[in-house]
Amino acid sequence: MLKMLRLGLLGILLVVWFVFGLLICLLRPRHRTNVYWLSNRMMHRACPLLGVKVRISIPQECRDLGPAVYVANHQTNWDIMVLTGAVQPGVVAVGKKSLVWLPLFGLLFYLSGNILIDRSNRSRAIDTIRQVVDKIRSSRLSIWMFPEGTRSRGRGMLPFKTGAFHTAMQAGVPIVPIVATSYATQIDLNRWDNGEILIEMLPPIDSAQWQREQVRECSEFVRTAMQNKLVELDAKVRRPA
């Protein structure tokens, strides 16, 4: 019963979110703050419906940072509601072209100003990195990416791909890691209290300390920092009884 109630309310909110989001995007097509309003100010606000309390920690040096590449651990489909609380103004996401075919979400993902890439074609993906770098420089945008490339679904932090780090190094912008506690099996829609989820934004990492040929070393450095923070946060998060 509780699960059906929650799903019904989420369904209603999804329709409302789509209507208002579409209106925002039509009035300001691909505006640099559309993603912030649709995700942080709208989608993230529905987290209490999941029975979780999300606590987000953002260091002062990450506020008003300017262009950067944000990298976060990717766990489940609920990331679209949970992690978006950490999205800052001027941030857009980079996702697979196939996302555009998702009902409702795909259309808004594109219209809100996010960037779609073709991962099936390596040469096109490389060209897309160049385009992303140009957007960062010309529009002073920040980019949000999931370096694991897929949802981990409780398997721990997966190996990182290098696209996010190539982008940061070529654009000459810092890398900002974002870590959320392991919650893949934590949300049960039939349970009132699903505990809490901790999200912490780590201090910016200067991408200029690596040369382009050291991109793998850069990605491993960031992954180690995120893995260590994940262990720390998982040890103190409040889980459901």
pLDDT at 194: 97
Residue 8, C-beta contacts closer than 8 angstroms, at least 6 positions apart = none
Instruction: Please state, in angstroms and rounded to a whole number, the distance separating the CA atoms of residues 56 and 22.
Output: 27
pLDDT at 193: 96
For tokens 């049960």, the residue is 188
pLDDT at 175: 98
Q: Tell me the angle at which helices 163-171 and 215-236 cross, rounded to the nearest 10 degrees.
A: 110
Task: Give the pLDDT confidence of 95-150 residue by residue, as tens digits.
Answer: 778 888 888 778 888 899 998 877 666 666 677 788 889 889 988 999 999 999 89
Provide the 3-class DSSP secondary structure of residue 205: strand
- Name the nearest CA neighbour of 46 among 22, 78, 81: 81
Instruction: Please state, in angstroms and rounded to a whole number, the distance separating the CA atoms of residues 119 and 126.
Output: 9
Other residues' Cβ atoms within 10 Å of the Cβ of residue 78: 17
Which segments of the chain have a pLDDT < 70? 119-125
